[in-house]
Amino acid sequence: MKKTAIILALVLLISAGLVGCKKDKNGASDLVGTWTLTSAEMGGQAIDSAELAMYGMDEMSADFKSDNKVTVMSNGVSYDGTYEQKDNNVVISANGYDMSLVKDGNTLVLNQGGIKMVFTK
């Protein structure tokens, strides 16, 4: 029973991933939606959730809209900006800063200042 449940869960995840990679009929990218920080590491060492909270990164997210606007949330503060996507490269411009991310399947990866942050949708 447990094995069947695991297989069913894997099939559902794979199916969702395949469907989620398509563009809708209006041409909106699968980037559109809210991406939340799910893990981070510094110098190859994982940063645990307590450390993320200590630095105000435990509630970090980016909400991408179909009109190339984005809202970045960090430590309870939101910043409005824009984004450009070319292939798997995404550049967010918000609050006077540019952030370069790489889209890898269902993750967005930001490598900045020696810290790697992974966001998932």
The predicted pLDDT at position 58 comes to 77
Give domain status of residue 74, yes or no: yes
Strand residues in 7-94 grouped as ranges (E) = 33-42, 45-46, 61-64, 69-74, 77-86, 89-94
3-state helix, strand, coil in the chain (%, to 5): 20, 50, 30
Give domain status of residue 6, yes or no: no
Give domain status of residue 18, yes or no: no
Number of structural domains in the chain: 1
The predicted pLDDT at position 83 comes to 97
Q: Which residues of the chain have pLDDT under 70?
A: 1-28
Give domain status of residue 7, yes or no: no
